[in-house]
Chain A
Amino acid sequence: VFSRLLIANRGEIAVRVIRACRELAIETIAVYSEADRDALHVRVADRAVPIGAPPAGESYLVIPRVIQAALETGAEAVHPGYGFLSENPGFAQACAEAGLIFVGPPADVIARMGSKIEARRLMQAHGVPVVPGEAPDDQSDESLLRAAEQVGYPVLVKPSAGGGGIGMRIVREVDEAAAALHGARREAAAAFGDPTLYVERLVERPRHVEIQVLADHHGHVVHLFERECSLQRRHQKVIEESPSPALTPALRGRMGEAAVAAARAAGYRNAGTIEFLVEGSGDAARFYFLEMNTRLQVEHPVTEAVTGVDLVHAQLRIAAGEPLAWTQASLAQRGHSIECRVYAEDPAHDFLPQAGPLLLYHEPRAPGVRVDSGVTEGGEIPVHYDALLAKVIVHADTRDGAIARAVAALRGFPILGIRTNVSFLLAVLAHPAFARGGIDTRFLDRETPGIVAGMLEAPLPEEVFAAAAAEFERGLKTSAAGSRGATSVSPTIRPADGDQHALDPWDVSGPWIGAS
């Protein structure tokens, strides 16, 4: 493949890419901001290059610095991860101009799929279903109101650029439309520098189901089935799974074919994801193209679990010009996989993100459990980046088995020092609607207050007080002996005591490929 690759990212995804490279004997170059000097991705890479101040806009998002780091270290290729520069066509272009292989699609494909209106037109032209809607060239209020009339209320007003729900407005009646247009236009202009809007029919109670695709440079395109991503809170995915409990085999087949058609229409290369909205149920359910993500997704491990394909290996091999190792017929889904995103946030206080020290952090280890994370005990969660601490991915024969495995893994994942959403994840996994698999994208926005209230009402086990008192007493004894600091909880240095918490060699290993 390549002999040396730079990872233009941080956190769990940087660590995940570095591990994939190690398996392929590719030397890895990490980049880091001043806030990430001691971060795990810096420690596990063969070499690490500082690229600036803590705010991402002064480090991870500065294209010339990333390119310079790659050139100075002799990297042949750059993996962008997700977020940051991963969907920035300017970055892909800058890589190409510097003679670096960008592990992803060409810049013009990123740009084309980054415009929602352009992507929508392209899909329509190639027979991929889109939500009925209008994208008028004339962006005046009158023209957009006419478009809304044509589509029929209720409608969704969306900005052409950006994502994450910013600038989106649900409009149920014509009276609300003008105010919604003004608000959406203002937000779109402020957030993305592009006030262009379009209008879609509002799909009520939609599900968000996406299809993973792989496309090589030799004209081959395959899909790797779906990921069910309807469990979202404020447009942030919380739990994803594959297969989707909502898809019948016939619907899955049609969506897979549509995704391959969409990737071909886009001239796509490398790993990508086609997001669809699904309306209704059974074979008669309808699906609509939503957007294409031209990068690796956070939730890619559930696809890896059920298909057995390592998507990062696939990305690297495709980028190196190798043909796909699979045909569509050779791919199948086996068993059921669920990913739970562990965020540093406080469910009891409006999910306020948390920064601070990880005083104690033990990842669960069990059959069928994978944890992707970019943090270690004793580390500090900085305020500058996203609040994703770890992803707990489970795989089992059945959906019920996977749920049980996820519950056991999360219950055995102590994280102390900052608040996390683990108890919230457990409450969602225990929710009867989740067990039935009947979740739409607005489920969590409706149910979260009740779920959180239930969590806060749950009785406190008295063992909590006994253990805190025991730790207090132990501290007194050791401080009397004059060595309190060494035996009370000292996060950075602890002995490997059997399997209670053996040190992970990844946590302590330095470069071993012999970085120059």
Chain B
Amino acid sequence: MTDSRLRALTGTVEREVTVGADGAFTIAGEAFQADPIGPGAWRVTCRGRSRVVHVARDGDEEAYWVHVDGRVHRVEITRAGVRPRRKTSGREHALAAPMPATVLSVIAEIGQAVNAGDTLLMLEAMKMELPVRAPRAGVVTAVHCREGELVQPGVVLIDIT
């Protein structure tokens, strides 16, 4: 195989990966050898040290879930020179439930001034408590839910202006 270059991107780190022959890769001047040891499993060797790494492709996107030593990372891969599609984080509805949830308690009151990061509501979903926090400073102008209510994702629970 002829050499080619890939761009690998996590939320915070970007690397250029040079693809060599037979599982050889060069990243930041360092040589890596990746050998398949099963479906989704690779033995990656660098400077004589090997690690088992598990990888799963995420649907149709060129994004990969990667596990090494108990930590999981999501890596996008594109051909060098191609800008990766940046996805929105999906957290812009900070004042809505992320999934079907029960309102445990309404902490904020109408007219109350809040700071960014203040907890406004506690939800429960999947048996976990989820605080809903103010994305920015402001004043609470409306509360659209009550304690004990089952709320659906995407429905705004509280207004801040």
Residues of A at the B interface (CB closer than 8 Å) are 55, 83, 165-166, 183, 186-187, 190-191, 234-236, 343-345, 349-353, 355, 359-360, 362, 383-388, 410-417, 419-420, 422-423, 426, 458, 460-475, 487-491, 494-495, 497-498, 500-501
Contacts and interface: CB of A to CB of B under 8 A. Distances in A.
A466 B67 contact: no
Which among A234, A236, A410, A491 has the highest number of chain B CB atoms within 10 Å? A234
A426 B70 contact: yes
Contacts, number: 198
B27 A466 contact: yes
Contact of A359 (B12, B53, B58): B58
A484 to B, nearest CB: 10
Given A234-B129, A411-B70, A360 B13 contact: no
A461 B51 contact: yes
**Chain B interface residue number, banded:** 35 or more
B128 A343 contact: yes
Given A343-B128, A473-B19, A489-B39, A463 B51 contact: yes
B63 to A, nearest CB: 9
A501 B69 CA distance: 17
Interface in B46-69: 46, 51, 53-58, 62, 64-69
Given A350-B130, A426-B70, A464 B38 contact: no
Interface of B: 6, 8, 10, 12-13, 15, 17, 19, 23, 25, 27-28, 30, 32, 34, 36-42, 44, 46, 51, 53-58, 62, 64-73, 75, 77, 91, 98-100, 104-105, 125-131, 133, 146-148
Contacts of B30: 462
Nearest to B51: A463
Contacts of B72: 414-416, 419-420, 422-423
Nearest to B79: A472
Given A191-B148, A353-B126, A461-B68, A416 B73 contact: no
A471 B55 contact: yes
Among all A-B residue pairs, the 9 with the closest Cβ atoms = A386-B127, A190-B147, A470-B34, A416-B65, A414-B67, A359-B56, A353-B126, A467-B53, A500-B38
A469 B42 contact: no
A386 B13 CA distance: 33
